[in-house]
């Protein structure tokens, strides 16, 4: 689990600056990291690829925000801590209720801040009469934050506390809008366009999974998953993807290339063997963990599944019953490939696998 420490929030989360009266209203303050917007969006793009929470300060106003780049909630969450002593108070007082706000809390929800950044505000600790002396200190909402990372459950709990409260005392409670608990996965809130097959991982618990877009070799995201199954990894464009599974930066990594994205409504599972696994009574490193070649028709995803075991170049031909070549593709082993047949129709298809100019496999698949 990851966190990014930042001086200030990547948004203008305040309307009143230096006081609580309307004369202090300033919708667009450049005293924030919400500007310039181009740099803000580039940074958020990188942060969300690691599913990281942002922990910020400096704003003088504690808040929890989910950031948006192209749409609301498509990036990470952030928590801004209160000031220990706040002599320049700020307030979040929107003139209109937030879109999709929490029940009874019209100040929450989706907003465009004064710099036109897309933000969803979930919690704020405005200055108020908190009934604690000296009022000059405590009514300006000073305090501290506690962030709890549950590595087993992959959840993050955020809390902001009043300065005088000891969280160890019985009945102690944070500021009214807290605590807030999110999933680690919520830090990349972007909606999927398509998905990859569910990864059923053998030989390693809690591996790192990295998804790479083969159209530009760009890393889509990297995350250490919980357990040995990663259900329908989401992607944001239709296309071919490389999946790396294991401990990145070591030799204990399985690389699977040429995986075609599919509709998230389709249930498809791919076995990925990582680490030292036993195949045919022999122990192999992950690079050789495929065993023998496999060619199958996957009914649910309606794709040809090829598992190529050796470190060599292959040519794959998929031929229709009338002799026309539906697919002819060069690939590199070892690897797993899912191939979609264009203009698919039911019937028989011949799969031919060549290497070094020789035909090494012929197999007939029946598509129903």
The full set of domain ranges for the chain reads 3-187, 205-278, 290-368
The dihedral through the CA atoms of 96, 145, 2, 10 has a sign that is: positive
Residue 80, number of CB atoms within 10 A of its CB = 27
* Spatial distance between the Cα atoms of 235 and 102, rounded to a whole number of angstroms: 29
What's the predicted TM-score (pTM) here?
0.77
- What region, left, alpha or beta, does residue 143 occupy, with left being phi > 0 and alpha being psi -120 to 50 degrees? left
Task: Give the pLDDT of residue 275.
Answer: 65
Helices (H), the chain: 37-48, 135-138
Work out the burial of residue 1: count CB atoms within 10 Å of its CB; fewer than 13 is exposed, 13-18 middle, 19 or more buried.
Answer: middle
Pick out the chain residues at pLDDT < 50. 276-291
CATH of 290-368, one of 3.30.1490.20, 3.30.2290.10, 2.60.40.3080, 1.10.10.60: 2.60.40.3080
* Spatial distance between the Cα atoms of 288 and 108, rounded to a whole number of angstroms: 53
Residue 266, number of CB atoms within 10 A of its CB = 15
The sheet carrying 335-339 orders its strands as 294-298, 303-308, 335-339
Write out the E strands in 61-154. Answer: 63-68, 77-80, 90-91, 109-112, 118-124, 143-150
* Spatial distance between the Cα atoms of 368 and 365, rounded to a whole number of angstroms: 10
Residue with tokens 């696994």: 277
In the DSSP assignment, the letter for residue 287 is G
Task: Give the pLDDT of residue 331.
Answer: 84
- Integer-rounded Cα Rg, in Å, for the chain is 26
Contact by Cβ (8 Å): 201, 229? yes
């Amino acid at each position: 689990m990851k966190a990014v420490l930042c001086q200030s929030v990547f948004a203008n989360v305040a309307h009143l600056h230096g006081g609580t009266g309307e004369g202090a209203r300033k919708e667009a303050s450049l005293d924030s990291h919400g500007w310039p917007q181009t740099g803000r969006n580039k940074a958020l793009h990188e942060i969300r690829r690691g599913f990281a929470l942002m922990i910020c300060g400096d704003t003088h106003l504690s808040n929890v925000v989910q950031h948006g780049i192209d749409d609301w909630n498509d990036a990470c969450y952030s928590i801004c801590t209160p000031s220990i002593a706040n002599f320049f108070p700020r307030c979040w007082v929107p003139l209109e209720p937030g879109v999709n706000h929490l029940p009874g809390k019209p100040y929450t929800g989706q907003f465009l801040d004064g710099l036109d950044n897309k933000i969803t505000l979930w919690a704020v600790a405005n200055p108020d009469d908190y009934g604690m002396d000296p009022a000059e200190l405590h009514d300006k909402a000073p305090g501290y934050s506690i962030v709890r990372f549950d590595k087993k459950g992959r959840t993050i709990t955020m809390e902001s506390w009043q300065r005088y409260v000891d969280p160890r005392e019985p009945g102690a409670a944070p500021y009214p809008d807290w605590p807030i608990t999110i999933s680690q996965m919520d830090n990349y809130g972007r909606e999927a366009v398509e998905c990859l097959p569910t990864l059923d991982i053998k030989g390693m618990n809690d591996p790192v999974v990295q998804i790479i877009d083969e159209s530009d070799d760009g890393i889509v995201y990297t995350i250490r998953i919980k357990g040995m199954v990663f259900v329908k990894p989401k992607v944001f464009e239709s296309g071919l993807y490389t999946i790396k599974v294991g401990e990145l930066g070591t030799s204990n990594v399985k690389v699977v290339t040429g995986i075609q994205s599919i509709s998230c409504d389709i249930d498809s599972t791919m076995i990925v063997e990582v680490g030292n696994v036993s195949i045919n009574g022999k122990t192999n490193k992950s690079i050789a963990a495929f065993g023998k070649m496999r060619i199958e028709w996957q009914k649910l995803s309606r794709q040809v599944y090829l598992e190529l075991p050796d470190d060599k170049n292959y040519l794959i031909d998929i031929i229709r019953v009338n002799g026309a070549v539906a697919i002819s593709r060069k690939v590199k082993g070892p690897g797993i490939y899912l191939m979609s047949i264009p203009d698919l129709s039911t019937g028989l298809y011949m799969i031919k696998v060549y290497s070094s100019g020789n035909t090494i496999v012929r197999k007939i698949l029946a598509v129903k």
